[in-house]
Structure formats: structure tokens, C-alpha cells
Amino acid sequence: MATRKNGTSSITSGSSQYSAEDITVMEGLEAVRKRPGMYIGTTGTEGVFHLIREIVDNSVDEAMAGFATRIDITIHKDGSVTVVDDGRGIPVDKHKKTGLSALETVMTTLHAGGKFGDKGYQVSGGLHGVGASVVNALSEWTKVEVRRDNKVSTQMYERGKTIGNMDVRESTIEDLPGTGTSVSWMPDSEIFPEINYDWDTIAARFKEMAYLNQGLTIHLISHWHDNLWPFNDVTYMFDGGVQSFVRSLNRQRGSVHPNVMYAQQTVDEVVVEVALQYNDSFIENCLSFANVIRTGDGGSHVTGFRSALTRVLNDYARKNNVFGVGKDDIKNLSGEDVREGLMAVISVKVKDPQFEGQTKGRLGNPEVKGAVEQIVGRQLTEFLEDNPGDGASIINKSTTAARARAAAKKARDLVIRKNAMDGGSLPGKLADCTEKDPASSEIYIVEGESAGGSAKQGRDRQFQAILPLRGKILNVEKARPERMLAHEEIAALITALGAGLGEDYDEEKLRYHRVIIMTDADVDGAHIRTLLLTFFFRNMPQIIGNGHLYIAQPPLYRASKGRSAKWLYSDSELDEWTANRLYGTIKITSESDPSITLKSTKIGRVLTPLREYIESLEVARVLNIPENVIEKLTKDPEYASLDFRPEQPIKTEHEIVSEAEQVSLFDESVEPDIQDIEEVEPVILPDKTFDIDGYILTKDIFNNPAVRRLHSLYPTIKQILEAGPLTITKGNNVVADNVVWHQLPATLDNNSDKSGVNVQRYKGLGEMNPEQLWETTMDPSGRVMLRVNAHDAMAADDMFRTLMGDDVEPRRNFIRANALEVKNLDV
């Protein structure tokens, strides 16, 4: 136990003796294992994915250098990963300085790589020479196989240390053809508390890489996600580059003009590739990359792009006499005006990029700004001149945005003046906290006045503020900014947070660093929560990105037996509580295999997935899927992976000859101008179907959430499903026998002692008194909260547009696909 001397803890005072002996020098990769966060940011699941990115980035560097055309990434069932490329292969000859092979030097030495000199790589994403060695240091084991010079060289490592000599053998017909590198590793459980992989995040990242490297094939398969078959095996290859990227992103967004502005050129050793197209949304989506690394914080390339965009569109508008001369007419387009509804991808490749730290969030090279500004300025000007219809549509979009922004500014000023006249800048309904440090303060956005009253009484006034909302706020996905700012509840929310919104958002002015949405556990509460999430995602994305937004999780049930009571936050918790309290002496045994026995807690753990399985089975039956087909889709591995991609028509010999003749007409030394190529409406072929015992299985049925859930739940409860007839005993008495698995929940319920048991379902926050609300939902020592994040901003954007946008068809399709999945619907 620490003692205090003169008011200072001995823990912090340190020793009075401080000499060279107190200096610790960590050898090799010890520093990486000691402080992994310095190198990969976090030891959470994002850190596990960071290891994959480091190795794949090395393979992509080979592609950018012109030596690799394919990368294969495999996530194995045990959590290990293998990355294979067909590049040159890591050199294996002896390194003069280290005396080790170049391979061992790269894998075991920090800041060793081929990206420091001018010979290995002209352009690369890896700069610091720590990627491969860091992966090696943070892995339980690593295996590297290099194919070059008709030899295969293999070396093993454990936690960064070399195990044995490098094995070299002649390549055989069984080896992968040509040259390349294969790296396999197992993330170290001593470093990473949880080894897990998010499929959507990984797939989205590698799809981006394929878009940014024309002609590069990236094949990703994850046996870790076998429950997603066939969608855990994908191949990406795009010949159109970032132009294809923009078309893909805008496919569901309603483009304002048909043509995509595309520019690709090299200036002063900076390769610039840019594509843009406007859509009918009010949001700017600008994705930027430097050497295929996502620069989420922008940088000099984004600055150059924005400068050129604003300048060229203003020049074009003046040239075409768009600006008026009246008092209220538009005199100029601001950067915010010309970026409303913009979908753009900016990709630069630089010889010596200057990133901010190993995470590479922002590009700092000043020469890149000039290169991008020059290329975009020239190409965009030519695009507008060559496509006057597109130019008119873009200018009309920008001038409309300018007028709306002027109206929004008036509305915002009105809100500020109104608050000032009321005698203060904070809304009257806000119950503020006394703490002035934003990092120690939090605000609860509460549904309804009654719940707001309970929250105000139950809170800790020192650091918890309460802002009750009356009714449902405006759906900002469908509203222009001026209408949104005129909405009383939204104005109160903006004022209470204090940081502004949009381009005026200032993190330093945010009054609370925990913004917590607290709504009822019913349909209206879910709707209000979605409206609030839409507002924050569209107008204050920084609150989400910086980890300030949370969703409170009030309990669903209060269960009691006798004097013992407990708050329960999910159906699975209720099942476990019920099993422990009501099924204490109950035992379930298979009549054909007595070794299959469940009792107490084990019963509770199997009940929730069993109920979900039964419910999903009912949905499948409502869809009129025959029982034998359901069984095959659920249990038979042959039907876990079905490829519904359309059959490609077999071309006749005449068609093949005709195509060959057309290709020969092009001069190989001249690349056709993208703008001169006539747009051809794509031919959409129908998906394949499968005949299963006379039942025609379609892609929609196969992908139905209930069908996929049956497949994923089956392994969890396989034992009980295949146990045959069950016997239920209570103490020494048999209370039920010959029980079929789907009868189990009801049978247990009928044979449990419910005397003194009370289970209350809570839907509204107002049903709890202030003390209960504090105890269950607001007390930091015991509350449950979900932090809101958007790892895939584009996927989140798609979901908000589907659920909250003007287009009815996507929302109708979403409801049709998921309607039968709804639980606890209040009607």
C-alpha cells in the first residue's frame, strides 16, 4: 500500500537514486510487444485487422511498382491469416549490414525495408519499415515463404524471434507458379484480448484497394466467417479505376448528371487520379487516398482538389452569366456550395509522402496540392466545356445549395438572436450539470417530458445534464438545412451541445464529451433513436468519429422471486435467470444418449438460440419453403455455399472473331479518351436458381435473414436438435418424457415453480421511478451503453438513405426482406 510523505504519494515520487542502471534498453522487437499501441493504434479487433493491412499494403506496393497482379488473402478458421502475392518476392540474399538474410532482416528489424532508398520502390504505402516486423512481433508464430530464382525459401518465427535457419529448396510443380511472397501468422492472444474479424470492414477495405489499382486482382476468403457462405469468398478487379469507384458509390444515390469527370495524369512525379459526379443528396462524400492508404483526415491533395473545384465552377458560372446583379442574387459560390451532393474519389501516388504518424491519417506534402490543383483545374474545365448539359446540372445544383445555405444562415442567426433575447444561450428545457470540464460531462437526450422528469430527479447533477425532447424530431434526410434549423427540438439540441454543425463544427466548443441517446424500448423509441442518429451522422459526424455518441441500454425486464430481484437487459439474460431460479432441480437428458445432459445455467444458455431457431423456422414455413429444403439449407454443407451469379452466355466463334477484329482497330500506343467512349446500357442477366427436389430456390430466398439465421444457429444447438426424444426430470421425478426439441421451451415453462416469481417487461423509461432509472441506466458503475461508430461510412450512408430517404422502392424492398424478423412490435 502506498504511503504519503509531505502530501505526495510514494508511487509517483520515484527513487532518489537515478543512474545509468535505471535505463532499460529493449532489444529487437521487445519494444513493439511492450507498447503495441504505438505501432498499430490499439490491441482491440481493429488492431488485429491492422496486422492484415500491413502485410497486404506490402503486396499492394509490389503492384504499384508494376510487379504484382494478384493478391490472395485467406482468414483461416483458427484465426490465422495468409497473404500471397505474385510480386518479385522478398530478397533472400545476405544483407551486408546485419549479416542476416534480407528476409530475416525485414521480418525481425524495425525500420528495415525496401522503401527508404530509390531502387526498391518509386511509390509505396509503407514508409517506416515497421509493417512486416511489427506483425511478426505481435504474432504467436509467423511463416514466410518466398518464391524467386526457381527456389522456395521458407523461415519460421515465434513472437518476433527467428526459429531455425531458412529452408531453401528447388521449386516443384506443386508450388505456386512464378515469383512472390506468402506470409502466414497467428495474432498473439497475449497481446490481443479478443481475436476477431469484421467481415464488412475487411471486404470494404480490399474492395477499395482493387478500385485504386486498375487491373489488380484481390481475392479474399474467410473461413472464420463460414456462416456467411457464399459471401465470404469474393474477388475484386476493376479496369475502370476510381471512375468505376464513383459510379458504384453513386449507383443508389440518383446522379445529377450522367457523365463522370475523370482525370489521370502525372505532374512532377506525383500521379493523380480523380473522379467526381454529383448526386441529389445534400451531403459531400469525398474519399481521399495517398499511395492506396485512406487519408481520413484529408491533407494537401484534398486541399488542392477543393481549391480547383471552387475556382473552376465559379469561373464557369461567371462565363455563362449565372450570377445575378440584384441585392439578393448570388455573387459567388463558396466551397461548401460546390461540394453539396458531391461524390468524389481522389487518389495520389507520391514518391516520398509525408504522413502524420504511422496511422497515415493526413497527407502533408505541399507539392501534391499544386499537382492536384493543376490537373483537376485543367481536366474539369475541359469536362464542363465538352459536356455543357452536365455543366448546367452541376451549376444548378451548386446555386441551389448557395440559396439554401443563405436561408439556413438566416435561420441560424434567428435561433442565436432568440436565445440571446431569452437571456441566455442555453435552451430552457435543458437541465445542465455543474461540471464545466467537457471531458467529465455528459448529456442525456431523453424521449418525452415524463422520462425527462425522472432523469432530472435521478441524475447526478455534478456531471450529468438532461435534455428532454418533445415528440419526434424532423427527419433531416428529407429536409433542407433551413427547415432543419427552424425545427424547435433540433435548434435546442444544437444549442445545448454548443459545437455548431457542418463546416462550422468546432470540437473545442463541445460542452459534453458523452452524448447519450436514451429512448424507450419500443417502436417509437427506436424511431426516435434512428432520427437522432440520422441527424448526428449528417450534421455532426465528428461526434461519432471522435467517439462521443452513445446509446443508453435501459433494462428490458425486472425479474423477482421472493425478496430477490434483478434487472435484465436482454432475452438471453432472462433465460439464464429463469434457468437458475426456476429450473434449479430440473435436468434434461437424451433418451438415446444419456451423455447429453443439460441442467441449470446450461439450460438457460441453450434456450435463447433454440427459441430463435424455432421462430426462424416459422418464418421459413411462412415463406412456403418445404421442410426437406429447409433441412438441406440448414444442415447440408453442400447447400451452405451456392453461387447465384448469372450464367455468362457462351459466345459463338463468329462473335469472338468479330471482337478480335474490333480490338485490332485500336492503335496500341494511343489510349482512347474516356469522354469519347459512348455509354452503353449494361445488360443485366437474371440470377441463377437451384432446383432442390422440385423446389426452385432463388437468391432472395437463400439470402432471407431467417434462412441464414437457421444456418448460423444450427451448430450452436446441434446437439439438442439431434438428441432425439428428451426426458425432463425434476429432482428424482420424471415430469415429462418423449419431448421433442421444439416442445422444450413450453414444457419447461409448464413444469417450473412460478410461485413468488414476477417478470415485468419495461418498454417506457417513464415506467421507472428516478431511483430505478439511476440504478439501471445512468449510474456509471453499473450502466450498459453502446458506443456509436461508423467503421464503414459508405455503408452507413447507404443504410440512412434506404431507411430515411425520399426513394420509396429501396425502403419497401428492405421492409419486405426483414418484416418477418420484427420482434416485440407494438400495435
Query: Which residues are designated catalytic?
Result: 447, 520, 522, 524
CA angle 593, 597, 602 (to 5 degrees): 150
Q: Is 106 left (phi over 0), alpha (psi -120 to 50) or beta?
A: alpha
In 3D space, the residue among 608, 604, 561 whose CA is nearest the CA of residue 580 turns out to be 604
C-alpha cell at 756: 413468488
Q: Phi and psi dihedrals of 533, rounded to 5?
A: -65, -40
Number of Cβ within 10 Å of residue 205's Cβ equals 18
Q: Phi and psi dihedrals of 269, rounded to 5?
A: 65, 15
Q: What span, in angstroms and rounded, lies between the C-alpha atoms of 112 and 106?
A: 5
Q: What span, in angstroms and rounded, lies between the C-alpha atoms of 406 and 399?
A: 11
Give the DSSP per-residue string, 723-786: S-SEEEEETTEEEEEEE-GGGHHHHHHHTS--TTEEEEE---GGGS-HHHHIIIII-TTT--EE
Q: Is 210 left (phi over 0), alpha (psi -120 to 50) or beta?
A: alpha
Strands (E), 496-573: 514-518, 549-552, 557-561, 564-568
Q: Are 753 and 583 in contact (CB under 8 A)?
A: no
**What are the Cα distances from residue 531, in Å, to 456, 473, 705, 742?**
23, 7, 24, 39
What is the distance of C-alpha 624 from the center of its chain? 35
Q: Are 186 and 141 in contact (CB under 8 A)?
A: yes
Residue length, the chain?
827
Q: Are 107 and 155 in contact (CB under 8 A)?
A: yes
Q: What is the largest CA-CA distance in the chain?
A: 96
Nearby residues of 436 by Cβ (< 8 Å), 6 or more positions away? none
* Long-range contact pairs involving 474-478 (C-beta distance under 8 Å, separation at least 24): 474/531, 475/531, 475/534, 475/804, 476/531, 476/534, 476/535, 476/538, 476/539, 477/534, 477/538, 477/800, 477/801, 477/804, 477/805, 477/806, 478/804, 478/805, 478/806
Give the DSSP per-residue string, 70-118: EEEEEE-TTS-EEEEE-SS----SBPTTTSSBHHHHHHHSTT-SSSSSS
Q: Are 518 and 446 in contact (CB under 8 A)?
A: yes
Q: Distance between the two ends of the chain, CA-based, in angstroms?
A: 59
Give bridge partners of residue 155 from the DSSP assignment: 144
Nearby residues of 122 by Cβ (< 8 Å), 6 or more positions away? 65, 269, 351
Query: For 652, which DSSP code?
Result: P
